[in-house]
Each structure stands twice: as structure tokens, then as C-alpha cells.
Amino acid sequence: MKILHTADWHIGKRLHKVDLSQDFDLFIDWLREYLKKNPVDILLLSGDVFDFSNPSSESRNQYYRSLIKLKTFQLKIIITGGNHDSPSVLEAPKEILNQLDIHVIGQMPEAFEDCLIPVPSAQNTELVIAAIPYLRSKNLQRQFSAECHENKQAAVKESIAYHFQEAAKLAKKNYPHLPLVAMGHLFATGASVSESERDIQIGNLAGLEASHFGEDYSYIALGHIHKPQRLQAETPIFYSGSPIPLSFSERRNEKRILILDTEKSYEPKGISIPKFRDLVLIKGTLEEIKTKLVSIENNHPLKTLIEIELHEAEFSASKTYELEQLIESFNQPNCEIVKHKVIFKNKSEIERGISSVESQISDFTPKEVFQKKLEGIDETEDTKLELMSAFEEILDELNRSEE
């Protein structure tokens, strides 16, 4: 049996206000061409289908169009919710999708048996998928009883581990002797992250060790981290990564899908996804930036997106103005400057007040803004950790209230 592992589609994503829907459509077109020559039996999508919990009608249409295109290959599709997804949005068409052999688990079911999906072959059941979505606070409260922050952190980890271990226990009881594959959407210790991943769990401190998953899984298909990678563990535990770059910090990442052939091994083979556009970060003095901008060429189907960071030693309003004029007159074919930032190394406090370009509020996530606020208060580190924990619980509640 062949399994395709993907995750973090983030349909509806914009990168500095640039719509990435074309990027995603090109990925689906490429994936269809791959499947024509390399058929698979199961496609696993491990969370973050959408970029927003309340996706636009255009994003929903793109999602359904993509599923229809992939279903022409007669494969079973299993989808779990991520921290960006609204469980109710994902599960709204659940009954209809089930008839198409598309299984959606947007939130953890009350009964652990309901997240176990047996996969039949022509003769009998071949393996079992434990489709565990992103675990929210209400799921974790089953074992969440610690009072202080340190114990709370440990309790979150143990609660997440409990879900994986309990699912494995039930699978071994109900489907003895069958291989077991898990899906998850979480942060695991040792994973390399980029700036486009939003923190998950309380304080982003719930990173699981490989041992937390137990020893009963043949393969663990993770989502949430956008860079493809393997965790250091005896069990094959992999992040497939996102299929397209979602931030400039991912511009050098090779994007992949992962393919398992269970008749041979549960170690997957990485299949490179072609690059559909370039993301270019240019740093330097004004003269260096001018030289680098002229040398940019576009060899990909979509427009090249460019970020600029001007670095100068001394504050200069004229250089800031000249940079803005340079950006305004930039007309390189099929290229666009989407963001610029000015950094003066020796800028005085007064001059910092004059120029707000260096640190705009839009450059920061809500958590980063709150962290900066915490830096200015006279409290202990433990208190600050508790405040951050409470802040992220509020963010989680606000995201879920959008449903």
C-alpha cells in the first residue's frame, strides 16, 4: 500500500498582501501529474487546511476543487484539523465527503475509537490510521489539573501523549496485528521552525519528545512545521512541511511530499515539489541594494516577490527617501517589492522617534507585541510566563469564537 503524506496547505494565505492561491493551484496541478504516473492508495493531510479559521468563499471553493481533482485518482483521503482550522468549518460537509471516501476529523472525538480509520485492500484491512487533529484546551483538560506553570507545562505534554497512546492501545485491541499510522498536528522537540508557524499549545512549551508517542506506531505523519524534516527517533516521525513557501524565512527550503510504500518500508521517500516563484531577500547599503535589484531575473511561472532591508551605519533621512524613490520606480519584469525595512546602526533615540519604518506594528504577531509589553513590566519571570500562558489561552478562545 502506498501513502502520500502532506500537510499545512494554508489555503487563503497571503504573503505581505500577495494572494498565494495561484501557487497552491500550481501545486495541485503538479500533484495530479505526479499521481498519474505514481498512483497511491491514501493521501494524508495533517492539519492547517486553511490559513484562517473562517476562510473566504474563494478559499473554500479552492479546497473543494482540489479534493475533486485528487479524487479522480480513486484514492482514500484523510484530513485532520490544524490550529489554523475551524473544526466546524472542516466537518460541515463531513457526511457528504464520507460518501466520496474522504474522511475529515476537525476536532478530537469524544470516543477515541472514532479517530481510528481502517484502510481496506481488495481482500482485507491492510492498516489503521489514527487520525488525531490539533488538540485544543478542552481536549487537554482531561488530564490538565496542575496549578503552577511548570506542572501545567508537563501536564499539557502528558495529555497530548495520552491521546496518542490511548488511540494506539485501542487500535491494537480492535485491530490486532495490523500496522498503525498516526497523524498529528503539533510541535515536537527538536523540530526546526520558520517565522510563518504560529505558536501552538500554551506558551509553545508543549513540545513532545519522541517517547511520548509510544512504541506502537509504524509511522507518524505530522503537520504544523513548514520545513520537511525527520525527528530523531527509532519510529519514523516526519513533518512533510508545507507544499509552498509561506514566508521569506522558507525561501531556501526544498518543498516536498512524502511517499511511503508499506510493502517495502515505513521510511518515506521525499519527492521534491518544483518552485513556482522566487522569494528574494535583499540586504545591504543603498548602493548594494541598487546593484542586487538590477541582477534579479525571474525564471519561474509566478511573479518574484522581494523584501528589502536597508542597513546603514548613520541615520540619513535622504537615504530613506532615496530608497522609497527606488522602490517606486522599480519595474523589473514579473517582479514585485512587497516589503522594505530601514535599519540605522547608530541611530539616536530622537532619530528613532522620527523614523517608524524600522519597527512597524504590522511586522509583529500578537504574541510578539505582548512579549514586548511584558519586557517593560517589573515582574518575575514566572509571573511573565503565567501572563503569556493566559494571553495565549485568550487568543485560542478568540480564534475558536470565529466559528
**Domain region containing 94:** 2-272
- Percent with pLDDT over 70 in the chain: 85
pLDDT at 114 over 50: yes
Mean pLDDT for the stretch of residues 46-75: 96
Length of the chain: 403
Claim to verify: residue 376 and residue 352 sit in the same structural domain:
no
CA distance 287 to 98: 59
Claim to verify: residue 8 and residue 131 sit in the same structural domain:
yes
Claim to verify: residue 358 and residue 376 sit in the same structural domain:
no
pLDDT at residue 203, as a whole number: 41
Claim to verify: residue 234 and residue 304 sit in the same structural domain:
no
pLDDT at residue 195, as a whole number: 61
Per residue in 8-56, pLDDT (tens digit) is 999 999 999 999 999 999 999 999 999 999 999 999 999 999 999 999 9
Name the grid cell of 58.
Answer: 474563494
Pick from 199, 186, 190: which is nearest to 160 by CA?
186
What's the alpha-carbon Rg for the chain, to the nearest Å?
A: 23
Q: pLDDT higher for 316 or 15?
A: 15
Per residue in 204-214, pLDDT (tens digit) is 445 788 999 99
The least confident of 7-11, 220-224, 348-352 is 348-352
Q: Is 12 left (phi over 0), alpha (psi -120 to 50) or beta?
A: left
**Three-class SS of residue 337?**
strand
Claim to verify: residue 210 and residue 287 sit in the same structural domain:
no
The CATH number given to whatever domain includes residue 243 is 3.60.21.10
Claim to verify: residue 32 and residue 162 sit in the same structural domain:
yes
> Last residue of some domain: 247, 272, 297?
272
Claim to verify: residue 154 and residue 257 sit in the same structural domain:
yes
pLDDT at 387 over 50: yes
pLDDT at residue 143, as a whole number: 58
Per residue in 334-350, pLDDT (tens digit) is 999 999 999 998 865 54
Claim to verify: residue 382 and residue 245 sit in the same structural domain:
no
Claim to verify: residue 198 and residue 304 sit in the same structural domain:
no
Q: What is the side-by-side strand order in the sheet with 304-312?
A: 279-284, 304-312, 335-344
Taking a C-beta distance cutoff of 8 angstroms, is the pair 159, 143 a contact?
A: yes
Identity at 260, one-letter amino acid code: L
Claim to verify: residue 359 and residue 370 sit in the same structural domain:
no
The least confident of 126-135, 150-159, 324-333, 378-387 is 378-387
Name the grid cell of 94.
Answer: 463531513
Q: pLDDT higher for 73 or 196?
A: 73
pLDDT at residue 200, as a whole number: 43
> Last residue of some domain: 228, 256, 272?
272
Claim to verify: residue 47 and residue 167 sit in the same structural domain:
yes
Claim to verify: residue 294 and residue 375 sit in the same structural domain:
no
Based on the structure, what is the number of domains in the chain? 3
pLDDT at residue 357, as a whole number: 46
Pick from 227, 222, 216: which is nearest to 184 by CA?
222
How far apart, in Å, are the Cα atoms of 47 and each of 65, 77, 86, 240? 18, 13, 11, 11
